[in-house]
Chains A and B, each alone.
Chain A
Amino acid sequence: MSDLLILNGHLVDPANRIDAPRDLLVRDGRVAAVEKPGALAGVETVETIDASGLIVAPGLIDVHVHLREPGQTYKETITTGTAAAAAGGYTSVVAMPNTVPVNDTAAKLEWMLDPARGATVKLFAMPAATVGSMGIELTDFGALRAAGAVGFTDDGKPVLEDHVMRAALVAAARADVPVSQHAEDTRLTGGCSMNAGPMAFRLGLRGMPIEAEARIVERDIKLLREIERAEGLRPHLHVQHVSTTRAIDAIRQAKHEGLHVTCEIAPHHFALTEEAVGDYDTHAKMNPPLRAESDRARMVAALLDGTADCIATDHAPHAAFEKRQEFERAPNGITGLETALGLALRILHRGQNLPLSRIIELMSTAPAAITSLEGRGALGQGHFADLVLFDASAEWNFDANTSRSKSRNTPFDGAEMLGQVRYTICEGRIVHRV
């Protein structure tokens, strides 16, 4: 007897170039068979899902989330954050290390990944690149890699010093994982709380110039080039939450040159502009900040033309009392796990005619490849049965009050979404169903 049979759905599996009606059999948490409609008709199963009218795709993978545990469990826990992930169609998430304390040792990483934390979906982590994310001394990449690290990052901060970033890229290349960089030259952004420009001037807020992002991206690309030449290594730089035209142009150029650079774009950077700050709405405060319309349009173009590798949410929960204060004092970040697919489908698929297969590539196949998640991001036989089943034509409005996250800090409360998740299945278990 098999575990689960999914019938009558439309399978979108970019890795295997399938975009057609397929039935799918799940056994022991893995994909046991993918067949044309009717071929699996006689198989007996514990549960059968009628996926008529639904897209069946590899579960979404988010390479950039903040789950706040340990240390800030009033904002989010691994349990609540991964429940929000499941509701958003995600089957794997990669936790950032800026917890309290910072995730910078194998013991802390193992604690985080322990099933006792109650993760609903598959949890991975990128530990800190430097001890305490202080940007001075590298963490033990070998030990952390052995304990499960899928990359290294000081996210929330950049690795600022040239020689430290160079050493991090070299060590990560030897461990065969990326360095995931929060590209912000913090020497240019002290006291800043939104995008630099006329809007910031009018609001009397200090603005983050686009150079702050671009300079670090350009510096890191230069380091890649030097390391390839001098060390014979091929380091992988992953640029987080790209928000400016200048940074995306630098990445495009580096890819052209053959360097191993990947990047992510957050939904808010293709959905919103700095205008959303309005009269000091802290739900429009994040880092990097919302930019001008020309930058937003360029992020959309980068997702369309392939310069951008993936969509990542930068899910950053904060308690209401933290956001309900002076704009300059409020912390950066918004939640994003439950709104990413709905925004991507509405803005990129319907709005820009981006095919569904490319959306799945951006949200599952590519993130799996970036973090080398074995057996995920695709639905071939033997792969993990990580699946999302969604109605691609369902229109709905997001209601922050129904969020599974512990926090409600989103600018998308009430916003129109396209495509509703009906089932999220992680290693054969149904972790979310509507």
Chain B
Amino acid sequence: MQSVSEAASHRFRYASGSLLSAAHLSVTEVSTVLHETARISALAAADRASILRGRTIALLFYESSTRTRTSFELAAKSLGATTTLVSDKSSSIEKGESLKDTGLTLRALGAECIILRHSAAGAPFVLARETGLPVLNAGDGMHEHPSQALLDLRTILTRLYGLDRAHSVNEHTLDGVTVSITGDILHSRVARSNAMLLPRLGARVLLCGPERLLPEDALGLGPGVEIERDFDRALAKSQVAMMLRIQKERFAGLELDLDDYISRFQLNGERLAALAPKALVMHPGPMIRGLELTDEVADGSQSAIEEQVAHGLAIRSALLARALGAGAFERVRA
């Protein structure tokens, strides 16, 4: 049979500085983002505020968000940019305006970059194609959340190796590190972005969850990704245990026995002490205490959940500088 690559004629182009998928970033680019994150974090507030002074950034949110929206907004403001927030609930989107037209409107109003959260997978690709602007994917349906993977990476590097070694990576930085991601993998964009990023830096990623929330198709995320259905076994191998929320809002008729789920997959103090007393505990939020993990674990000394949020602010500052070709990215663009 002949090989087929018919539709290769459809190659789309995106503005440089866009971040649509973690898979689009080379290891070198990841390293550059981490380096710029460290540099910006070390700047005095006044210097930081000059990086994007006079620039305009739009936040376009079709789904609710606390952490991502606030950290992108605060990051943009700390760099001196003007921001505007458009959400589906209080805009012409409610009247049926298309994503394309909404994007063109924001561009006409001066937006130089759009941060998009959307319930449809691939929506940031559409927006980037239609506007030609750099677009940062702040979560698209069940697809990806690349800035989350980067902030998770910085959290892991900082905790495992120290802050001074969190400013660069290569293909071997995470050699010997096993990261388990447990829970509702099927609906998780965080899982997909991390699974597409961390193995390229040397990590082994173990996906863990029941069949319904973790189909075998997940192995297609790439090399370095494995499935381990037994949570205790996954935990025992983990240097990092990433827990995920059950996303009931995306279940679409799927049913799950929560008591059974808790008994098999909840990260509680007993499990953690017995199987992974030194592992780093992470959660992208929002978390449901008492379901995927217990209070004692969420607030315990192994938890890096609050640090993740703080790293989010730092990473997103660098991503905004990258999107607008500012700071360390000025030369790169020229």
Contacts and interface: CB of A to CB of B under 8 A. Distances in A.
Interface of A: 190-191, 196-207, 271-273, 275-276, 278-281, 283-284, 293, 296-297, 300, 321, 324-329, 347, 351-352, 411-415
Interface string B1-17: 11011110110100000
Contacts of A191: 252
Interface string B241-257: 00000000000110000
Contacts of B217: 196-198, 200-201, 207
Contact of A272 (B1, B6, B215): B6
B10 A411 contact: yes
Please report whether the interface of chain A is mostly helix, strand, loop or mixed according to DSSP: loop
Given A191-B252, A326-B99, A279 B7 contact: no
A351 B140 CA distance: 40
Interface residues of B, number: 37
B143 interface: yes
B121 A280 contact: yes
Given A198-B221, A279-B12, A411-B10, 5 more contacts: A198-B219, A276-B10, A327-B126, A328-B122, A415-B9
Contact of B141 (A190, A204, A281): A204
Contacts of A201: 186, 215, 217-218, 220-221
Contacts of B271: none
B165 interface: no
B253 to A, nearest CB: 7
A200 B120 CA distance: 13
Interface string B34-45: 000000000000
B221 A326 contact: no
A293 B4 contact: yes
A416 B332 CA distance: 38
30 contacts: A190-B252, A196-B217, A198-B218, A198-B220, A201-B217, A201-B221, A204-B122, A204-B140, A204-B142, A204-B192, A271-B4, A271-B6, A272-B4, A275-B5, A276-B7, A280-B121, A281-B10, A281-B12, A297-B1, A324-B126, A326-B99, A326-B122, A326-B126, A327-B120, A347-B2, A351-B2, A352-B2, A411-B10, A412-B7, A414-B9
Nearest to B195: A202
A327 B142 CA distance: 13
A203 B126 contact: no
Contacts of B218: 198, 201
A271 B5 CA distance: 9
B7 A325 contact: no
B98 A321 contact: yes
A326 B118 contact: yes
A296 B7 CA distance: 14
B130 interface: yes
B292 interface: no
Contacts of A199: 220
Report which residue of B6, B118, B186, B219 has the largest number of chain A beta carbons within 10 angstroms of its beta carbon.
B6
B123 interface: yes
A383 to B, nearest CB: 35
A201 to B, nearest CB: 4
Contacts of B231: none
Interface in B270-296: none
A306 B69 CA distance: 57
Nearest to A204: B143
Nearest to A280: B122
B4 A328 contact: no
Contacts of B123: 326
B125 interface: yes
Contacts of A329: 120
B53 to A, nearest CB: 34
A334 to B, nearest CB: 11
B130 A324 contact: yes
B144 interface: yes
Report which residue of B9, B192, B253 has the largest number of chain A beta carbons within 10 angstroms of its beta carbon.
B9
B100 to A, nearest CB: 6
